[in-house]
Structure 1
């Protein structure tokens, strides 16, 4: 496939590496990029683009490719706000030795969460969210949208031992505040969204501190995490920020995975006969929720055979690598690779499957949902919004 044909395809489809995220079918375009332009400079976007699986892996593993611009640890819109303070402490948004001790505690804690237990907690929390709704024949699209963002968050909070199962209002409030903080991190966030995110960060910090102080999380892994962090000299604010960060990770990406699974089931009714966990795993690879990520060059270096400079940005097309068919091992690149790979991939898939199962049990109809939807505006996440 030559560059001229890729350009013609992009022009005909009205697509580029950023708009592909919310395009109805970006995958032919992604496959052609991965095959013919696995690493290139997009002059119009002002970005390097990594599309091939080898190139994606190389960028994500390179020591000079950082998760944030070295001179901009916090997005400018969040700087000086409670949301910025919280963001700046997230280990997944930082590189370097200072954050390694806490990461060394968080990764095994998250990886040790039993996906089966998480799915059971999702079932229990679905009953909390559905309390008082009574019998119904079909679940409205608006309710489906709310559940996609709420159920994975409160299920994970419950697994961690946080107090969300006591009443529906608490569960809903926690989910809404997590979603507000997550939305503020988007480059597309407007002033009101950023302000709401700062208020959400303050609310979540207060709620979490109160929950931990009262010992309500004693039946989860958090006390052991706090004890180990204290012994390692890690500040309590960093621990609290990253507990909130785990809930944020369960928010948009899992909503996208569950929503795309509903679309998959709606478009291909025969897939309904497959084990739901298998459908989710296929969607994670073939229609992933996180389509791309970025890396920022901290030094002049050579990358994938090209000279790149400090300050350059690489757009890493995870979805292109995932659907390319070029890798020796098929995998869901949406969960990342290398030092910032998500350790909760099995957990995320379990929560997504449990969310889809709960929605269907409450009357959500995939075929009907697939007939009327759009994708939420985003530069990196493919999240269905049902109409």
Structure 2
């Protein structure tokens, strides 16, 4: 079987409002509802609603031969429920076709897999509950960690949680001479199957599509199909993984991105020997060729494909360590507001905004950040965290008195 696996990450963080030092101990609500709603409604109109309608059209047109896969963070689903229930309903219609797979991840789109096995498992369980709630009892079989972060050890934990497979990045420094276009297994537990992103062809769509200085601009379906046909015949699966906001938000409608996707299934099905499959179908139809050894965590971010988009500089490490010092206290606090804020403060985006890289990676971080600088992001976050620490310690004292 030769097949294409289209996977889309769907995520929006809860952005923090401007929070001054003088607000600590006084203002306990941290979230910029106006900005969050504005972003959600803008992206809904530019991406989610038109792209969901297009995918639904394609699934029906090709009688289920065209298939896609989503992972939706819990913070995304929470905001859809509050600000854009029409978007959530459009995703339900897609899933109801039976030709869309949903993946599991952490509820808060967190980096907990790098810090705490218990916090990671709790976040995964909460995400499972949310998927069941919004999608008629749906139970994901395949896992996708935040930002495709993966290692041998993380994969072993994912296998322990009962998942049959996981998605991650086809990083050059991990693959070496190997191709990402095969099914692999976890190095510690071969029961867990691994799909690797083909970053070259994925990023041709996600990052280079509208770039007029790119040597292969414009990207047409004819050109893309020729590249697909050039894949060696023994290779099993082409994994095209990208942010869902690629369509209409990062690559505007004026670039032709929607027309490209509208014509791609026909071109693939009529001019290649590839089909379309979900990860579960790939795992069922293809045998793994080898283990993939990932001793040090990888991700799909930046040139290095490592963790430095979120962790590594002094700002990020200080914020991350201070946050997780609270884990044991927060776990035992039965307070909805505390638990909500704990989840949302763990979201990886807050640490992403603190990244101090330069050149092209730095430009990408700046594009996504609501702050003027990484230092502003750090100061604002630490002000909020300082207030949250006071609240947690106060609740812990109250619990001791009971």
TM-score > 0.5, shorter chain as reference = no
Higher percent of residues as helix: 1
TM normalised by structure 1 equals: 0.30
The higher-RCO structure (CA 8 Å, 6+ apart) is: 1
